[in-house]
Amino acid sequence: MRRGRFLIIVGGLLILATVGLVAFYLLTVGLPSPPAEEGAEVVPEGTAAVATEAPPVPTRKVLIAVQDIPRCTEISPDAVAEWEVPETDIPDDVVLTKSEILGAGKHPIAMETILRGQPVSFSLLSSREEILRQGLDGACLIPKGKVAVAFPVTELSSVAYALQPGDRVDVLVSVSFVDLDAQYQMKLPVVLTGGEDCLAGCQPTGEQRERPVTQLTVQNAEVLMVGPWGAGVPFPVEEVAVEATPVPGEGEGPPQVTAPSGERTYNVVILLVSPQDALVLKWARENRALIDLALRSGEAGGDNDLFSTEPVTLEYMVRRFGIAPPPKLEYGLENKFEAPGEALPAEAP
């Protein structure tokens, strides 16, 4: 029995020795390499593999949005920052620094929504002046709570074409009142026909005179544009050099003077008003009121006061200026004298 135990112990030692020899061989010689994939770099046996790093992606410092900038929003300095971004993500017309678009007199407006982290490019930006000059998206120039209304003007109602974008104006309106028959909504006198039952003979005859009144209505409206949208802004007219005519006995005089290069005219203005004032302007225009625009002061700080005025009527003119109707006389004047520079009309034969 002791002999049997001895054989078992010897057999176990032989097995352990065999396993140890196999392990030593595998660690020394190494396992066979798996087959290389197609296109992969093959490392010769016995050569240590060297880990290779991917080349660094080139970056560049540009201006990016640090928050979402909605369309038609003026870009503020805290909405953008200079940041290193991969060159593959940079548009061709990218803005590099804040100073290129921000600073004194620069007020860039986003014409499209710029998302957070997106590089800011010049093609996404514009300004108030460029929007007006090129006729771009006019909605970007309308403040919240306001609407834009196109309004017809003439040389007189436009202050002799003095209006320009950014001006402030008041709207003067003149209308005429007449008396109506409340039942028939007809201008008096109403003459009924159909016989004596209608009392036609008792109705007054003659034409009723209108009673005009003038009042200040919409105040402090901003002029968004003069002339058709997209036709260009009539900024101060360019001046051209014109040779001066020498005055005899006073030397040659100045060599040249300046004169406007062309006449500036337009027949429509676009006003920024509240929705209620837009209805006032529409009512006045459609009811053929006589409308003039009064230009406000452009001094520093602006003139934004609202005025309380009294309607001007014939009674107001008589009362304020002491106008008295002349007495009715049995004689009058018929002037036959020719005024200087005027010719008397030819008398009918």
35-84 per-position pLDDT tens digit: 555 555 555 555 555 556 777 878 889 999 999 999 999 999 999 999 98
Q: How does the average pLDDT of the chain come out, rounded?
A: 79
Average the pLDDT over each of 35-39, 283-287, 301-305 and give the range with the smallest value.
35-39
Q: Which two tokens stand for residue 58?
A: 């080139």
Q: How many CB atoms lie within 10 A of CB 81?
A: 13
Q: Which of 221, 102, 218 is nearest to 165 (CA)?
A: 221
Per-residue model confidence (pLDDT) at position 250: 52
Per-residue model confidence (pLDDT) at position 31: 47
pLDDT at 244 over 60: no
Residue 215: which pLDDT band, with cuts at 50, 70 and 90? very high
Spatial distance between the Cα atoms of 63 and 83, rounded to a whole number of angstroms: 6
Across residues 240-250, what is the average pLDDT? 51
Per-residue model confidence (pLDDT) at position 305: 85
Q: What residues does each domain of the chain span?
A: 59-126, 147-179+208-237+259-321
The one-character DSSP state at 201 is: G
In this structure, whether the domain defined by 59-126 belongs to CATH 3.90.1300.10 is answered with no
E-assigned strands of 77-187?
A: 80-86, 109-110, 125-126, 147-152, 168-177
Per-residue model confidence (pLDDT) at position 89: 75
Average the pLDDT over each of 61-70, 163-172, 183-192, 306-315 and give the range with the smallest value.
183-192
Q: Which of 291, 269, 294 is nearest to 281 (CA)?
A: 291
Per-residue model confidence (pLDDT) at position 13: 66
Per-residue model confidence (pLDDT) at position 239: 47
pLDDT at 202 over 60: no
- Which ranges of the chain would DSSP assign to H, the alpha helix? 2-29, 128-134, 275-286, 314-321
The answer to whether the CB of 69 falls within 8 A of the CB of 75 is yes
